[in-house]
C-alpha cells in the first residue's frame, strides 16, 4: 500500500491547514531545496507535444528520494469545461525503488508555484513593495496573491484579465482576504504603480501581455505564464533592461521568456541567490525578472513536504498499485488460476 | 474520476480471464502496434540511476493516446523481501491531457514482456521449435514459458537457476501447465538441445549466463535480462554469430546486450519484421537473437488493451487524482476556507 492524497483529501488538508500557512511552510521547504540545488538531478522535463497541448513528466532525485510529476497544459481546455493544467505526482524511495506517495498535484502545483514566486520576490522585489499587479486572473491568481501577501506583506492587488468573469471570480474569492483590490481597465492600468507584476496568462502563443512601456524602474516582474516553446508573455525588450533570474537554465532557454533571446543572453540562477552565493536585488531602481517555468525540484519539495504533513493522518489514504508477493521471485503465484495451481 | 486497476483487481482480472488467453490477445495487440511503430514517439526511457538500482519513466504517444510507465529495477530487493521490479502505468487522452487509466504494471509488465518475446519468437525461432531453455527462473519465468507454449506450441522447458528454491518454485507453479519440465544441473545442461533459449536473470552486472560454446546452429536466443547499462547476459562473441533484432535501437545501444559491441554493430529492427517489411528467420541453421530491453510502445499497448478489456467492468475501480472545479478557472474555490469564502 502506498500513501495516496487524492483530490478530496488534498482539498480537506488545504482547507483545514489554511493556504497562507501552507504557503509559508512551503517557502521554507523550497529555500532548503534551492540552497542544495546542485545535489538534485537536473534534466529538462520530458515533453510530448501535440497540436492540442503538451503532456510532461518532470522527474528529479536527491539520491535519497525520487519524485516526478505528470502535468498537462491544454489552453483550449477551459472552453470545454476542463482544466488547462492538471497533474499528479509520485514520491519514491531511491533505495528500494518503491513509490511511497501518490498525490493530486493540481492544487499542490498552484501552491508550490505561488510559494516559488514569493520566495523569489522576497529577494528580487523592493523591500518596501506593497502593490502587486496580476495580469491573468485564472486558476493560479488567488494563490499568487495570497503568497505575496503572506511572505512579503503585499496589501494591494491590481488585476487585469481579458475575461471579465475571471476578474469577477478573483474579486469574489479574495473579498475576505484583507487585500485591497483594484479592478483595472487594461493591462497598463493594472501595472501602473505596481511594485511587483505577475503575469499568469495561459495562451499557448507568443502573446505580449506586458509591453516595455508599462515597465518602470524598480519593478520586479514574476513571469509565470510563459512556460513552453512558443508560449511567452513579455515584450522581449523588457528582458534587455532587466536582470533575469531562472530556475534550470537549459529548460528555461527552451520554455521561458528567454526562448526569444539569443542563447547566450545573460541570466542568473535563482538558486544561487537563495543559497546566499549571489546577490538578489542590489538597487532600488533596477528591474528584475523571474522567468519562471516551473522545475521538478519544486514538485519534489512540495511532495516531500506533503508527505511529512499527512503521513499517519486522516489526510492520507492508500492505493494498492504495487504488487507484493510473499516470495519476491514468485509473482506468478498471484495470478495462478485455481486449475493451473492444482491443489494449492 | 480516473479508471484504476489496482493490484487486487489486476489479479482478479488475470485469474478470471486466464494467462494464456490474455497473452494471445496481447500478442495480437503488440503486432498491431509494431506494424505502425513509426507512428509512435520513440525516445529512450528517462532513467535515474543510483547505486541501489534504477527508476525509469517510459513515455510514448501515438498522437491520440499517451502512456507512460514508472518502473524500478533493484536487483538487491529480493534479499529484503521486495520485488526486483515494480511498476505502474498511466494511459491518457492526448486531446485533453487528462489521464484515463491508472494501472498496476508489475503483473502487466510480466505479461507484455512474455507476449513480446513470443511475438518475436514466432518470426525468429524455427517453425518446428518444441523446446525452451529458461536461464533464470525468477518472476518472469512462468509467463515466458506460458507465452512460448500458447503462441509457438512449445511442449518442453529446460530450466536453470543458481537459486535452487527459484527452480522449486517454477516446477511447483508449472506442475499443471502441461509443459514437460527438465530441471538442469547447469546452464549448459539447460541449453543442450533447446530450440529457444530465454535468458532472464536479474543481476545488475555484465554476467555471462550464456557462453558461446552453449549456442548451436538454429537456436533463437531471447535475451531479456540484459536491460540496463552494465547489465548483460551473453558472451559477446555470440552476437557476432547471430542476426540481432532490437526494439528501439538508440535505447538498446545503451541498455541491451549490444552495449558491449561497437556502436555500428549490425542490428535489425524487430518492428520491420512484424510489419512484413523485412524477413525474420531465413534459414534453419541461422542463429537469431532478440536483444530485448522493453520499450514504451509495449507498455502503451498493454495499457490500451487493458483499458478496452476492463472499462465498465468490475475489474475497473476509480481514483480521484484529477481536480475538476465547476469553473475551470476557479481552482481556488475548491480550497477556500469557510472564513475566507465568507457567506458562500
Residue A246 CB coordination number (10 Å): 23
Give the residue from B99, B319, B335, B336 with the most A CB atoms within 10 Å of its CB, the best one to mutate: B335
Residue A29 has pLDDT above 90, yes or no: yes
Q: Which of B8, B98, B335 sits opposite A86 (nearest CB)?
A: B98
* B119 close to B295: Cβ distance less than 8 angstroms: no
Residue B341 has pLDDT above 50, yes or no: no
Cβ-count burial of B182 within 10 angstroms (0-12 exposed, 13-18 middle, 19+ buried)? middle
Span between the terminal Cα atoms of chain B, in Å = 26
Helix or strand holding residue A244 (H, E): strand A242-246
**What is the tens place of the pLDDT at every residue in A241-256?**
999 999 999 999 998 9
Three-state DSSP state, B57: strand
Which is higher by pLDDT, A133 or A45?
Answer: A133
Say if residue B17 is in the same domain as residue B82. yes
Give the residue from A335, A336, A338 with the most B CB atoms within 10 Å of its CB, the best one to mutate: A335
Say if residue A148 is in the same domain as residue A238. yes
Say if residue A235 is in the same domain as residue A301. no
Cβ-count burial of A38 within 10 angstroms (0-12 exposed, 13-18 middle, 19+ buried)? exposed
Q: Which three cell numbers stand for residue A217?
A: 524602474
Domain assignment of residue A172, yes or no: yes
**What is the tens place of the pLDDT at every residue in A294-329?**
999 999 999 999 999 999 999 999 999 888 888 888
pLDDT at A341 (0 to 100):
43
Sequence-separated (6 or more) residues with CB below 8 Å from residue A272: A278
**What is the tens place of the pLDDT at every residue in B263-291?**
999 999 999 999 999 999 999 999 999 99
Q: How far is CA A99 from the centre of its chain?
A: 22
- Least Cα separation, residue A212 to chain B (angstroms): 28
pLDDT at A228 (0 to 100):
75
Domain assignment of residue A119, yes or no: no
* Residue with grid cell 491573468, as numbered in its chain: A136
Q: Which three cell numbers stand for residue A186?
A: 487594461
CA dist B152 to A90, A225, B27, B324, Å? 39, 55, 12, 48
The backbone torsions φ and ψ at residue B135, rounded to the nearest 5 degrees and listed phi first, read -105, 110
pLDDT at B108 (0 to 100):
97
> For B330-340, what is the mean pLDDT?
77
Three-state DSSP state, B84: coil
Residue B343 CB coordination number (10 Å): 6
pLDDT at B78 (0 to 100):
83
Res. A342 pLDDT band, cuts 50 70 90:
very low
- Least Cα separation, residue B5 to chain A (angstroms): 8
pLDDT at B338 (0 to 100):
58
Say if residue B131 is in the same domain as residue B86. no
B146: nearest Cα among A332, A342, A343, A323: A332
Domain assignment of residue A314, yes or no: yes
Residue B167 has pLDDT above 60, yes or no: yes
Domain assignment of residue B12, yes or no: yes
Say if residue B45 is in the same domain as residue B132. no
> For A269-282, what is the mean pLDDT?
98
* A31 close to A274: Cβ distance less than 8 angstroms: yes
Residue B344 has pLDDT above 80, yes or no: no
pLDDT at A340 (0 to 100):
45
Q: Which residues of B are catalytic?
A: 227
Say if residue B65 is in the same domain as residue B205. no
Say if residue A149 is in the same domain as residue A62. no
Which is higher by pLDDT, B205 or B192?
Answer: B192
**What is the tens place of the pLDDT at every residue in A49-102?**
999 999 999 999 999 999 999 999 898 898 888 888 889 999 999 999 999 999
Res. B327 pLDDT band, cuts 50 70 90:
confident
What CATH number did the domain enclosing B84 receive? 3.30.1780.10
Say if residue A305 is in the same domain as residue A291. no
* Residue with grid cell 490500451, as numbered in its chain: B304
pLDDT at A344 (0 to 100):
35
What CATH number did the domain enclosing A195 receive? 3.40.50.720
Q: CB–CB of B322 and A86 under 8 A? A: yes
> For B78-85, what is the mean pLDDT?
86
Residue A27 has pLDDT above 70, yes or no: yes
Domain assignment of residue A168, yes or no: yes
pLDDT at A337 (0 to 100):
65
CA dist A302 to A30, A111, B19, B325, Å? 8, 8, 40, 22
Res. B336 pLDDT band, cuts 50 70 90:
confident
Quote the CA–CA distance of B315 and B5 in Å, as a whole number.
7
> For B2-30, what is the mean pLDDT?
97
Percent of chain B at pLDDT > 70 equals: 97
Q: CB–CB of B336 and A68 under 8 A? A: no
**What is the tens place of the pLDDT at every residue in A117-160?**
999 999 999 999 999 999 999 999 999 999 999 999 999 999 99
> What's the predicted TM-score (pTM) here?
0.92
User: Over chain B, what is the mean pLDDT?
Assistant: 93
Count of domains observed in chain B: 2
Say if residue B58 is in the same domain as residue B103. yes
**ipTM of this predicted complex?**
0.90
Which residues constitute the domain of residue A198? Answer: 125-295
B148: nearest Cα among B188, B180, B121: B121
Instruction: Decide if B95 touches A, using CB distance below 8 A.
Output: yes
Say if residue B133 is in the same domain as residue B176. yes
Domain assignment of residue B29, yes or no: yes
Say if residue B64 is in the same domain as residue B164. no
Chain B 51-70, residues with CB within 8 Å of chain A CB atoms: 52-55, 57, 59, 61, 63, 66, 68, 70
pLDDT at B204 (0 to 100):
61
Lowest mean pLDDT among A11-15, A262-266, B25-29, B231-235: B231-235
Q: CB–CB of B104 and A321 under 8 A? A: yes
Pairing of strands B268-269, B242-246: parallel
- Least Cα separation, residue A172 to chain B (angstroms): 8
Say if residue A249 is in the same domain as residue A308. no
Domain assignment of residue A91, yes or no: yes
In chain B the beta strands, taken as DSSP E runs, fall at: 2-5, 46-49, 54-61, 65-73, 87-93, 99-104, 131-135, 156-160, 180-183, 196-199, 206-210, 220-223, 232-234, 242-246, 268-269, 287-291, 317-319
pLDDT at A338 (0 to 100):
58
Sequence-separated (6 or more) residues with CB below 8 Å from residue A116: A30, A292, A294, A298
Residue B311 CB coordination number (10 Å): 12
Q: Which of A10, A54, A63 sits opposite B50 (nearest CB)?
A: A63
Residue B340 has pLDDT above 60, yes or no: no
Domain assignment of residue A342, yes or no: no
DSSP state of A182: E
Chain A 103-162, residues with CB within 8 Å of chain B CB atoms: 103-104, 106-107, 110, 137-143
Q: CB–CB of B8 and A320 under 8 A? A: yes
Quote the CA–CA distance of A31 and A38 in Å, as a whole number.
13
Lowest mean pLDDT among A330-339, B77-86, B205-214: A330-339
Q: How is the beta sheet containing B268-269 ordered, strand by strand?
A: B180-183, B156-160, B131-135, B196-199, B220-223, B287-291, B242-246, B268-269
Lowest mean pLDDT among A10-19, B97-106, B224-233: B224-233
Quote the CA–CA distance of B169 and B165 in Å, as a whole number.
6
Q: Which three cell numbers stand for residue B251?
A: 535505447
pLDDT at A343 (0 to 100):
34
Q: Which of A53, A172, A330 sits opposite B97 (nearest CB)?
A: A53
Percent of chain A at pLDDT > 90 equals: 83
Quote the CA–CA distance of A54 and A73 in Å, as a whole number.
5
Q: How many CA atoms lie within 13 A of A341 on its CB side?
A: 13
Amino acid at each position: 500500500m502506498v500513501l495516496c492524497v487524492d483530490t478530496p483529501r488534498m482539498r480537506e488538508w488545504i482547507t483545514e491547514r489554511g493556504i497562507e500557512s501552507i504557503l509559508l511552510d512551503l517557502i521554507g521547504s523550497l529555500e532548503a531545496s534551492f540552497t542544495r540545488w546542485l545535489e538534485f538531478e537536473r534534466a529538462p522535463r520530458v515533453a510530448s507535444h501535440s497540436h492540442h497541448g503538451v503532456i510532461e513528466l518532470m522527474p528529479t532525485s536527491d539520491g535519497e528520494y525520487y519524485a516526478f510529476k505528470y502535468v498537462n497544459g491544454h489552453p483550449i481546455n477551459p472552453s470545454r469545461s476542463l482544466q488547462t493544467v492538471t497533474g499528479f505526482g509520485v514520491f519514491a524511495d531511491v533505495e528500494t525503488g518503491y513509490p511511497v506517495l501518490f498525490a493530486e498535484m493540481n492544487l499542490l502545483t498552484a501552491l508550490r508555484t505561488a510559494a516559488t514566486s514569493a520566495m523569489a520576490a522576497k529577494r528580487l522585489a523592493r523591500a518596501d513593495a506593497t502593490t502587486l499587479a496580476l495580469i491573468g486572473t485564472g486558476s493560479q491568481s488567488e494563490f499568487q496573491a495570497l503568497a505575496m501577501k503572506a511572505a512579503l506583506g503585499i496589501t494591494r492587488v491590481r488585476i487585469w484579465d481579458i475575461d471579465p468573469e475571471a476578474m469577477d471570480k478573483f474579486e469574489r474569492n479574495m473579498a475576505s482576504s484583507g487585500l485591497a483590490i483594484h479592478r483595472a481597465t487594461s493591462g497598463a492600468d493594472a501595472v501602473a504603480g505596481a511594485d511587483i507584476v505577475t503575469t499568469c496568462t495561459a495562451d499557448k502563443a507568443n502573446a505580449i501581455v506586458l509591453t516595455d512601456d508599462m515597465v518602470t524602474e524598480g519593478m520586479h516582474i514574476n513571469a509565470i505564464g510563459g512556460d513552453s516553446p512558443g508560449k511567452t508573455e513579455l515584450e522581449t525588450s523588457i528582458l534587455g533592461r532587466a536582470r533575469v533570474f531562472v530556475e534550470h537554465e537549459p529548460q528555461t532557454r527552451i520554455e521561458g521568456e528567454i526562448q526569444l533571446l539569443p542563447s547566450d543572453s545573460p541570466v542568473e540562477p535563482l538558486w544561487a541567490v537563495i543559497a546566499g552565493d549571489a546577490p538578489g536585488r542590489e538597487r532600488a531602481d533596477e528591474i528584475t525578472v523571474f522567468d519562471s517555468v516551473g522545475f521538478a525540484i519544486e514538485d519534489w519539495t512540495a511532495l516531500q513536504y506533503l508527505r511529512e504533513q499527512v503521513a499517519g493522518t486522516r489526510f492520507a489514504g492508500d492505493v494498492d498499485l504495487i504488487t507484493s508477493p510473499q516470495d519476491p521471485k514468485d509473482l506468478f503465484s498471484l495470478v495462478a488460476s485455481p486449475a493451473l495451481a492444482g491443489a494449492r
